[in-house]
């Protein structure tokens, strides 16, 4: 294992939740609620995000987009009108159901593949552009994951990630409820170092996403309460600690990372 790849794996392992906290509650802390990742078409007049722009500029007319860790389709469905087909990979069946509904609503042909990337990659066709939004901090080891993304693109891979681990917004809550501090790493720069160590010609653009348009504070509070290994009756306490105007400020600090296919050797 190369040094940056090993650093990524070691840093990510330090984000493990202590087993005794997991064992103390009936629900698993890990599932992500599909409602938190429901696709909402961007408000009229708001331009493309840098990630959508980088994907669009590489997409041929009526091209095919592959969305890995698709969730509700936030990374791919803004391209719906410009492509002939969207392929979605996700390990969660519930997410793929939400994706399929949103793709129907967007009027784009779509196909779903349930399973973990890169394990399912062999079943998934190659696409013009591969997009992957907010998945990398869930991935260890990172090299085979990124290699399979690269092998599936004819033109470009576009990855969106937060500058810090997406659970960083919960750090003050972990401290508050359990007296636990999670580490600052890995960061965007650690991830980019792995990709560059693989020999990929990676480009990076940092940007700030707008605060989430909320109605979904309840959904976020339910997610946070469960991730924090707290029982349902403590949900109001968690919700009271979130700022309704900007409940997850750190996850708004994001970056778009993109690279092309490997040159044939």
Ligand X SMILES: C[S@@+](CC[C@H](N)C(=O)[O-])C[C@H]1O[C@@H](n2cnc3c(N)ncnc32)[C@H](O)[C@@H]1O
Binding residues for ligand X, rule: CB under 6 A, are 32, 37, 69-71, 74-75, 89-92, 95, 116-117, 133-135, 138-139
Residue sitting closest to ligand X (CB): 71
| In the complex, minimum distance from the CB of residue 86 to ligand X, in angstroms, rounded to a whole number | 12
- Give the nearer residue to ligand X in terms of CB position, either 138 or 176: 138
Provide the 8-state DSSP code for 246.
S
Nearer to ligand X, 135 or 242 (CB): 135
Between helices 188-197 and 3-13, what is the axis angle to 10°?
Answer: 150
Alpha-carbon span 163 to 188, nearest angstrom: 5
- Name the minimum Å distance from CB 233 to ligand X: 27
Is residue 141 reached through a cis peptide bond, with omega within 30 degrees of 0 on the bond before it? yes
Nearest residue (CB) to ligand X, 166 versus 260: 166
Edge-first strand listing for the sheet containing 83-90: 110-114, 83-90, 63-68, 127-133, 153-162, 253-259, 203-208
10 Å CB burial of residue 39 (0-12, 13-18, 19+) is buried
Q: How far is the CB of 132 from ligand X (least distance, A)?
A: 7
- Residue 133 Cβ vs ligand X, minimum distance, rounded to whole Å: 3
Helix (H, G, I), strand (E, B) or coil at 154: strand
**Shortest separation between residue 70's beta carbon and ligand X, angstroms:** 6
Q: Residue 134 has what DSSP assignment?
A: S
Pick between residue 70 and residue 242 the one whose CB is nearest to ligand X.
70
Nearer to ligand X, 161 or 202 (CB): 161
| Closest-CA residue to 235 (of 250, 245, 220) | 220
CA distance 51 to 18: 35
Shortest spacing between CB 179 and ligand X, in angstroms = 27
In which element (H, E) is residue 50 found? helix 50-58
Nearer of residues 176 and 249 to ligand X, judged by Cβ = 249
Tell me how far, at minimum, the Cβ of 115 lies from ligand X, in Å: 7
Of the pair 74, 108, the CB lying nearest ligand X is at 74
Judge contact between 9 and 1, C-beta under 8 A: yes
What are the backbone angles phi and psi of residue 180, rounded to the nearest 5°? Answer: -110, 140
């Amino acid at each position: 294992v190369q040094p940056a790849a090993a650093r990524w794996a070691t840093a990510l392992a330090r984000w493990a939740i202590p087993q005794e906290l997991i064992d103390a509650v009936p629900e698993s802390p890990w599932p992500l609620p599909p409602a938190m990742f429901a696709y909402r078409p961007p408000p009229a007049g708001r331009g493309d995000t840098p990630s959508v722009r980088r994907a669009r500029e590489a997409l041929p007319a009526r091209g095919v987009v592959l969305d890995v860790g698709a969730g509700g389709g936030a990374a791919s469905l803004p391209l719906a009108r410009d492509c002939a087909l969207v392929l979605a990979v996700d390990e969660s069946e519930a997410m793929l159901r939400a994706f399929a509904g949103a793709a129907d609503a967007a009027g784009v042909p779509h196909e779903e593949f349930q399973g973990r990337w890169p394990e399912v990659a062999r079943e998934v066709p190659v696409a013009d552009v591969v997009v992957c939004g907010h998945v990398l901090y869930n991935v260890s080891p990172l090299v085979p994951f990124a290699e399979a993304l690269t092998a599936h693109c004819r033109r470009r891979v576009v990855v969106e990630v937060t500058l810090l681990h997406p659970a960083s917004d919960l750090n003050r809550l972990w401290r508050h409820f359990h007296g636990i501090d999670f580490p600052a790493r890995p960061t965007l720069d650690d991830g980019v170092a792995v990709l560059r160590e693989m020999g990929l010609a990676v480009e990076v653009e940092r940007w700030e996403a707008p605060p989430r348009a909320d109605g979904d504070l309840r959904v976020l509070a339910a997610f946070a309460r469960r991730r924090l290994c707290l029982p349902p009756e403590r949900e109001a306490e968690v919700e009271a600690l979130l700022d309704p105007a900007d409940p997850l400020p750190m996850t708004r600090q994001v970056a778009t990372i993109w690279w092309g296919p490997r040159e044939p050797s």
